[in-house]
Chain A
Amino acid sequence: RKEVEQDPGPFNVPEGATVAFNCTYSNSASQSFFWYRQDCRKEPKLLMSVYSSGNEDGRFTAQLNRASQYISLLIRDSKLSDSATYLCVVPLSGGYNKLIFGAGTRLAVHP
């Protein structure tokens, strides 16, 4: 299994849709997880941190299933401005040291 694996997409959805992204990771010792978003040729920006079973922030919900080594990100009521690449990121070895990035899932929200 790859260290961090994501469906590359693209996901093309209309405004207002609900969309979910999945991510699997191989290191069972990892304790925390992050979703970053990256706009084209820009830096990764932190979207959500996931430390326990999940986290919710407005339209965004992240869920963690440690037994299956699986993290998801749900976006409700999609906006045009949500169009970006969503990166699943796992710190290695639980020491919060180096980050292992997934290749990202591309989302395109259209009117």
Chain B
Amino acid sequence: EPEVTQTPSHQVTQMGQEVILRCVPISNHLYFYWYRQILGQKVEFLVSFYNNEISEKSEIFDDQFSVERPDGSNFTLKIRSTKLEDSAMYFCASRSQGSQPQHFGDGTRLSIL
């Protein structure tokens, strides 16, 4: 069964540094998403991406965040200057179309020191 893959599984970074989280969505999917989950809290929406542009973003997704689909297969989330409160699990998800559900990658654990 096709799946969403994410790398790295764990990223440790100093505060203020840039990080790039990578995702390879399921190949025939059209809609791409990033979510995050702070330890012990619920999963929160960050951004959705369709047709090579952001379709919606949350208040969390401020100017420090950006997304790209540089080559038609990868989907990346960049955090320009990380803060301690960016420490969380980051999940990428994708879906095909219509009412189909989103499928999640196994996440990147981001730890900011």
Contact = CB atoms under 8 A, between A and B. Distances in A.
B104 A43 contact: yes
A31 B48 CA distance: 19
A98 B106 contact: no
Given A42-B107, A43-B106, A104-B42, A97 B89 contact: no
Interface string B30-47: 010101000001111100
Interface of B is mostly: strand
Interface of B: 31, 33, 35, 41-45, 48, 55-56, 58, 89, 91, 93, 95, 98-107, 109
Interface of A is mostly: loop
A87 B103 CA distance: 14
A32 B42 CA distance: 20
Contact of A34 (B41, B101, B107): B101
B91 A103 contact: no
B104 A45 contact: yes
B99 A44 contact: no
Contacts of B106: 42-43
Contact of B55 (A34, A49, A51, A97): A97
8 contacts: A32-B99, A41-B89, A44-B104, A45-B104, A46-B101, A49-B101, A99-B43, A101-B43
